[in-house]
């Protein structure tokens, strides 16, 4: 309930700032994207324990990933880009609330984005904004960004002992283009698009990713390629989206 209250408060603020006919302000359509990390239907929290499809208990003390070139697609197939590169960091709540964007009125049928960094920016060296190396998402020994980083611990299904889990997913082959159906109609409206990422789906659909004997990947060797391919396919199913429109007065 607290999250819902904060969302409503944020949207009300957006609406008030975007449209005041009584003051002669011209009304425009605005949208923003919020991101929620989930495990099934449960909201994900750092250091909490969850169970994957392989029956292994696991947690994360770090969960970060890049969303790039996020855009709305209207019924005519035209794209309206919302954001260039956004670093989602579970430890930084502000990173889960992407900024307000003015969009043309119309009917939007899809939300598109990449999980990862496109090849041009992936090989351009040090950059600014969310691509700044200070965020720890760039490899120091090779040109390129870490697209997804999950660091934590899991309980081995063979030994029953707690072991480290280090997943650093990246390289050009790992870029995952994602398209989600949407039903958003705006006509001088304020709207919120809620994007959800399900960590358990990442490790189960369509490929079950077991951690035992498979717990350390840096995307740097040919032996990582099957793991990269499996996760890339799973990323396509790990996201979902819905939207809400708020009428402006």
CA nearest 67: which of 226, 224, 196?
196
Distance (Å, whole) CA 237 – CA 235: 5
Distance (Å, whole) CA 127 – CA 133: 7
Domain that holds residue 84: 40-180+196-240
CA triple 126-128-132, angle to 5 deg:
60
Please check whether residue 63 lies inside any domain of the structure.
yes
Residue 211 Cα to chain centre, angstroms? 22
Please check whether residue 32 lies inside any domain of the structure.
no
Neighbours of 60 (CB within 10 A): 25
E strand residue ranges, 75-144: 79-89, 101-103, 106-115
Please check whether residue 129 lies inside any domain of the structure.
yes
Distance (Å, whole) CA 45 – CA 181: 27
The whole-number pLDDT of residue 247 equals: 63
Please check whether residue 6 lies inside any domain of the structure.
no
Q: If you ran DSSP here, which 8-state letter would residue 128 be given?
A: S
Please check whether residue 246 lies inside any domain of the structure.
no
User: Which of helix, strand or coil describes residue 231?
Assistant: helix
Mark 77-101 as b/e (b = at least 16 C-beta within 10 Å): eeeeebbebbbbbbeeeebbebebb
* Per-residue confidence in pLDDT tens, the chain, 249 aa: 334 434 443 444 444 344 554 444 556 899 999 999 999 999 999 999 999 999 999 999 999 999 999 999 999 999 999 999 999 999 999 999 999 999 999 999 999 999 999 999 998 866 889 999 999 999 877 779 999 999 999 999 999 999 999 999 999 999 999 999 999 999 988 999 999 999 999 999 999 999 999 999 999 999 999 999 999 999 999 999 999 887 655
Please check whether residue 187 lies inside any domain of the structure.
no
Please check whether residue 49 lies inside any domain of the structure.
yes
Please check whether residue 26 lies inside any domain of the structure.
no
Q: How many domains does the chain fold into?
A: 1
Residue 223 makes CB contacts below 8 A (sequence gap 6+) with none
Predicted TM-score (pTM) of the model is 0.89
Neighbours of 51 (CB within 10 A): 14
């Amino acid at each position: 309930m607290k999250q819902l209250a904060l969302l409503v408060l944020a949207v009300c603020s957006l609406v008030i700032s975007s449209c005041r006919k009584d003051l002669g302000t011209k009304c425009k359509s605005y949208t923003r994207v919020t991101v929620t990390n989930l495990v099934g239907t449960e909201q994900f929290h750092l250091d909490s324990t969850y169970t994957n499809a392989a029956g292994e208990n696991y947690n994360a003390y770090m969960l970060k990933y890049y969303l790039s070139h996020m855009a709305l697609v209207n019924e005519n197939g035209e794209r309206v880009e919302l954001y260039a590169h956004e670093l989602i960091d579970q430890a930084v709540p502000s990173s889960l609330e992407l900024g307000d964007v003015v969009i043309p009125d119309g009917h939007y049928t899809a939300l598109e984005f990449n999980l990862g960094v496109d090849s041009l920016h992936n090989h351009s060296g040090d950059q600014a904004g969310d691509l700044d190396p200070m965020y720890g998402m760039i490899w120091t020994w090779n040109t390129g960004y870490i697209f997804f980083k999950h660091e934590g611990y899991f309980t081995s299904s063979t030994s029953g002992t707690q072991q480290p889990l280090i997943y650093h997913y990246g390289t050009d082959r790992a870029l995952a283009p994602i398209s989600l159906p949407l039903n958003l109609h705006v006509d001088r409206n304020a709207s919120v698009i809620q994007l959800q990422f399900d960590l358990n789906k990442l490790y189960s659909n369509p490929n079950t990713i077991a951690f035992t004997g498979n717990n350390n990947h840096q995307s740097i060797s040919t032996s990582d390629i099957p793991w990269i391919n499996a996760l890339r396919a799973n990323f396509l199913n790990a996201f979902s989206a819905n939207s809400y429109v708020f009428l402006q007065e």
